[in-house]
Homo-oligomer: A and B are copies of this chain.
Amino acid sequence: MIVMGIDPGLERVGYGVIDAQKGNRFTLLDYGIVKTPAHTPTVERLAMIETGITQLIEKYHPQEVALEELFFTKNITTGIVVAEARGVIMLTAHKLCGNLFEYTPNQIKQAITGWGGAEKPQIQQMVKFYLKMKDIPKPDDAADALAVAITHAQTGVFGGMFGIR
């Protein structure tokens, strides 16, 4: 089963595509970011994100798409535009794929490392391990997207489903 993980953002949308087989065996297919230029009207950046996500879904035909849930802890203003981008990403994935799942940061940490309080480097090491990569995936947004894809493959596809809203 092809799973696409997405880490929402306005400047950088991380994506990671894996083929998940039973027994937590994963094949890495692709990862990277959809980047939008600064000093560009927000709505044009939203259009670029829609185009980028559409192209990725049409290329890999994921059966399921998993997104990281958004929490605002630091910067409210940044949070608003990230949520605007997230709405566009959700709707695009829903229209093209139909199977959309969401996971909180804690659910992702728990699924990847077995501990909800894990730090980013531990998660990235585990992503590298699960996907048999030579190096830690870069940038962080792409690593986060792979982490949510693995989370969904572990907990949603072959285990109990949760995280949808």
Binds B, one of A24-32, A76-84, A114-122, A127-135: A76-84
- Which chain A residues (75-102) contact chain B, with CB distance < 8 Å? 76, 79-81, 83-88, 90-91, 93-95, 100
Q: Among the listed B42, B43, B50, B94, which residue makes an inter-chain contact with A43, where contact means beta carbons less than 8 Å apart?
A: B94
For residue A47, which residues in chain B have a CB less than 8 angstroms away from its CB? Answer: 91, 94-95
For residue A94, which residues in chain B have a CB less than 8 angstroms away from its CB? Answer: 43-44, 46-47
New A-B pairs, 17, CB < 8 Å, besides A84-B86, A88-B88: A41-B164, A43-B93, A43-B94, A44-B94, A46-B94, A47-B94, A72-B72, A72-B79, A79-B80, A80-B83, A81-B83, A83-B84, A83-B87, A84-B87, A86-B87, A87-B87, A87-B88
